[in-house]
Every structure is written in C-alpha cells, then in structure tokens.
C-alpha cells in the first residue's frame, strides 16, 4: 500500500474539522486562529490531496484514512 499525502499536524486537525462539517469561521474560532489562516491551510490540503472542494477533501480523507 502506498503512503498517502503528508499533512502537517495542523492540516490534519483542520481536515478533521472539515470532515465534521465545520465552516472556516467555526474552525478558526475553535482553534483561535483567523479564518484566513484556516483558508490557507485548506488550500494546502486541497493541493496535497489533489481535490477541488471540501466534499472531495472529506471523501479523500476518509478513503485514505487520514482522519
């Protein structure tokens, strides 16, 4: 089995919250960071997973057992 993409611990934490259905603002509030920082992390996650949206990221995360 080939290893999946390497996400930072913060990216993994944010991806878990995306899978839980939280918005960028909700994630930012819970992690005490700005929603723009969350957006940057999510863009990095999309790039690393090769996806274009939150739903695809959530599905990929579950299939790859990243969360």
Could you tell me if 54 and 62 are in contact, meaning their C-beta atoms sit under 8 angstroms apart?
Answer: no
Task: Give the pLDDT of residue 1.
Answer: 47
Which uninterrupted H or E stretch holds 48?
Answer: helix 35-49
The 10s digit of each residue's pLDDT in 13-51 is: 999 999 999 999 999 999 999 999 999 999 999 999 999
Domains in the chain with CATH codes: 9-63 (1.10.10.10)
Torsion of CA 57, 53, 22, 2, to 10 degrees: 10
Q: Does the predicted model carry a pTM greater than 0.85?
A: yes
**What's the length of the chain?**
67
């Amino acid at each position: 089995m080939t290893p999946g993409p390497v996400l930072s611990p913060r990216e993994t934490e944010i991806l878990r919250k995306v899978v839980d259905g939280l918005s960028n603002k909700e994630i930012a509030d819970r992690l005490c960071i700005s929603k723009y920082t969350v957006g940057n992390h999510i863009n990095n996650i999309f790039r690393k997973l090769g996806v274009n949206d939150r739903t695809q990221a959530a599905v990929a995360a579950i299939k790859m057992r990243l969360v």
